[in-house]
Amino acid sequence: MNTGTAILLVGLVVVALLAVALYALFSRLRGVEGTRANSAELFAQIEADSVRLRSAAQSEADDVRAKARREADELRTAAATEANELKTRATAEAEKAREDADQARGRADEATAELREQRADLDRREQRLVEREERVTADTQSLEERLAEVETQASELAARTEELAALEAERRAVLERTAQLTAEQAKAELVATVEDEAKRAAVMRVRDIEKDANENGQARAREIITLAIQRLASEQTAESVVSVLHLPGDEMKGRIIGREGRNIRAFEQVTGVNLIIDDTPEAVLLSCFDPVRREVARLTLEELVLDGRIHPHRIEEQYEKSKAEVEALCVRAGEDALVEVGVTDMHPDLVLLLGRLRYRTSYGQNVLKHLIESAHLAGMMAGELGLDVKLTKRCALLHDIGKALTHEVDGSHALIGAEIARRYGENDDVVHAIEAHHNEVELRTVEAVLTQAADAISGGPPPPRRESLEAYVKRLERLEEISMSHDGVEKVFAMQAGREVRVMVLPDVVDDIQAQVLARDIAKQVEEELTYPGQIRITVVRESRSTEFAR
């Protein structure tokens, strides 16, 4: 908006205001024709209004002119600023265009130089190709000459080959007439001779290798087992299902029995242990197949005797205390066994079951001590073989864990122990070693083999796990009787505490195949008729002797 337009607008506004004022004036004059007395006042007021309107119009016109000037100044400033920016941008674009032109000229120069180099390189390559073509031409001529020579030599060689073939046919005919054999027959005879010699040499070599492997393997095994046995110190305990409790006097027996036997009935009902009171002076017997239960009953009766108050309610109270005490002792025994062997991270329930074996014996051995010994033995052998000592010790320590529950669960203690270990998250190798240590499952790992060997060493050194002498002798006699009952048997020897039976047979009655059948029949009959720990090895020996005298 320019200044002239603004002035024109102000004039229009003033004229409009004047028109409105005149219209109001005429209206007021029409309304007050009868009151001429006030006309002077009206004219004065109209004049005042006109003055005021002119002043307002003048003031507004001044404001419009000032605003127009400010806008014009702002427009001039913005135009100048925009012009400067355009000039600066044009200058920058011109500089960039000059730089792009310089770069283009540089790239053109580089491209030109590169083209020159490529042209020179092409010239060099063309020169090399020309030289190579010349050499190839020369080589081709030389090869053609050599090929002609080779063809000549080939023709000569073919002629000589035909001559040699004729001579060979003549020689073969002479040999056939001399040896009375055809060439194929001679070749077959030669091949058969070579094959026989090769087979014989191979059999001899294989036998020597097997012999060396067996001797070295057996020597190494004997060395490892001997070292383990030498470092083993075991102790024996008498196996029993009876505990003896000594009394301060025979009068205590009457108090234990109680009025009409109520105390002894309550004791047996609460503890599940038979209390035997006989003529033994100052002693009573506690009989039970469960060693833990028998130990709880023994502690209960011992505390009752010391306290002197014996009645059914007191028996129940003391039984609960003794039960908690024995369970704490079992946990402590299991933890001590883990510390002694060096095994950690075992489920608390497994530790409790392990500690319960402290009160169990098997063929004259305390089962917990047997497990500790087996773990040490297995660890020694694993160390000698470079295996995982901790894993092997863990397998041996837990291999008889099932014996803690064999009086509560039907089945083999090996399978029961494997199921328990599997339930409490033990390693698959540990579970397999437990279930396979009596060959109820086929051995698949070295740790299982070492566990079985450690079990046999701990349970089998002289004296063996003691059983009653009479039963032991009868078992050995029965082993010999079973073996002697078969035809062709000459002598029988029960050896190694009944763990091996050697059967000597008559060589003219029993041949090698019958010896194998005899060993299997004896083993089957022993399995059906006898009960024994571990396994029994049946060895049938057939010896042939030839004697002749030189005169």
DSSP codes, 215-234: HHHHHHHHHHHHHHHHT---
pLDDT in the model for residue 20: 73
Could you say which of 1.10.3210, 1.10.287, 1.10.10, 1.10.357 is the CATH number of the domain covering 242-459? 1.10.3210
Q: Which residue has the higher pLDDT, 386 or 25?
A: 386
Quick check: 437 and 455 in contact, CB under 8 A? Answer: yes
Quick check: 362 and 466 in contact, CB under 8 A? Answer: no
pLDDT in the model for residue 95: 84
User: Which letter, b or e, does each residue of 58-67 get, where b requires 16 or more Cβ atoms within 10 Å of its Cβ?
Assistant: eeebeebeee
Instruction: Give the pLDDT band (50/70/90) at residue 238.
Output: very low
Q: Where are the domains of the chain?
A: 3-175, 242-459, 469-542
Lowest mean pLDDT among 62-76, 202-216, 297-311: 202-216
Q: Which of 461, 446, 327 is nearest to 433 (CA)?
A: 446
Work out the mean pLDDT of the chain and round it to a whole number: 78
Lowest mean pLDDT among 137-141, 194-198, 280-284: 194-198
Lowest mean pLDDT among 39-43, 116-120, 347-351: 39-43
Please state the rounded mean pLDDT for residues 385-399: 88
The answer on pLDDT for 274 being more than 50 is yes
Please state the rounded mean pLDDT for residues 384-402: 87
pLDDT in the model for residue 226: 58
The answer on pLDDT for 233 being more than 60 is no
The answer on pLDDT for 253 being more than 70 is yes
The answer on pLDDT for 37 being more than 60 is no
- The torsion defined by the Cα of 296, 297, 302 and 304, in degrees rounded to 10, comes to 110
pLDDT in the model for residue 236: 43
Token pair recorded at residue 140: 């081709």
Distance from the first to the final alpha carbon of the chain: 160
The answer on pLDDT for 97 being more than 70 is yes
pLDDT in the model for residue 181: 58
Quick check: 328 and 355 in contact, CB under 8 A? Answer: no
pLDDT in the model for residue 409: 65
The answer on pLDDT for 519 being more than 50 is yes
- Rounded Cα distance between 315 and 299, Å, is 11
Q: What is the DSSP string of 46-61?
A: HHHHHHHHHHHHHHHH
Instruction: Give the pLDDT band (50/70/90) at residue 286.
Output: confident
pLDDT in the model for residue 357: 85
Q: Which residue has the higher pLDDT, 541 or 18?
A: 541
Token pair recorded at residue 92: 């920058």
Contacts of residue 361, Cβ cutoff 8 Å, sequence gap at least 6: 237, 238, 239, 240, 291, 367
Percent of the chain at pLDDT above 70? 80
Token pair recorded at residue 134: 């010349």
Q: What angle do CA 430, 431, 434 make, to 5 degrees?
A: 85
pLDDT in the model for residue 276: 84
Instruction: Give the pLDDT band (50/70/90) at residue 232.
Output: low
pLDDT in the model for residue 474: 76
Please state the rounded mean pLDDT for residues 388-395: 89
Q: Which of 489, 488, 487, 494 is nearest to 530 (CA)?
A: 494
Quick check: 387 and 446 in contact, CB under 8 A? Answer: yes
Q: Which of 339, 362, 340, 338 is nearest to 351 (CA)?
A: 338
- Rounded Cα distance between 147 and 141, Å, is 10
Lowest mean pLDDT among 213-217, 232-236, 278-282, 517-521: 232-236
Lowest mean pLDDT among 51-60, 289-298, 337-346: 51-60
Please state the rounded mean pLDDT for residues 223-242: 53
The answer on pLDDT for 200 being more than 80 is no
Amino acid type, 506 = L
Q: Which of 402, 397, 381, 403 is nearest to 335 (CA)?
A: 397
List, in sequence order, every beta strand (DSSP E) within 26-134.
Answer: none
Please state the rounded mean pLDDT for residues 316-322: 89
pLDDT in the model for residue 36: 56
Quick check: 464 and 497 in contact, CB under 8 A? Answer: yes
- Rounded Cα distance between 357 and 344, Å, is 18
Instruction: Give the pLDDT band (50/70/90) at residue 237.
Output: very low
- Rounded Cα distance between 532 and 479, Å, is 11
CA 208 to mean position of chain CA atoms: 40
Please state the rounded mean pLDDT for residues 448-474: 68
Instruction: Give the pLDDT band (50/70/90) at residue 165.
Output: confident
pLDDT in the model for residue 459: 74
Q: Which of 436, 443, 390 is nearest to 413 (CA)?
A: 436
Cα dist. 108→96, 99, 111, 222 in Å? 18, 14, 5, 90
For the domain covering 469-542, report its CATH number: 3.30.70.1350
> Considering the entire predicted model, what is its pTM?
0.43
Element containing residue 153 per DSSP (H, E):
helix 39-179
pLDDT in the model for residue 220: 62
Kindly give the residue spans of alpha helices, DSSP state H, lying in 231-366: 251-257, 262-271, 291-307, 312-341, 348-356
pLDDT in the model for residue 366: 80
Q: What angle do CA 548, 549, 550 make, to 5 degrees?
A: 125
Lowest mean pLDDT among 123-137, 188-202, 475-489: 188-202
Element containing residue 518 per DSSP (H, E):
helix 512-529
The answer on pLDDT for 229 being more than 70 is no
- Rounded Cα distance between 136 and 542, Å, is 85
The answer on pLDDT for 214 being more than 60 is yes
Query: For residue range 499-514, what is the model confidence (pLDDT) as tens digits?
Result: 778 888 888 888 888 8
Instruction: Give the pLDDT band (50/70/90) at residue 465.
Output: very low
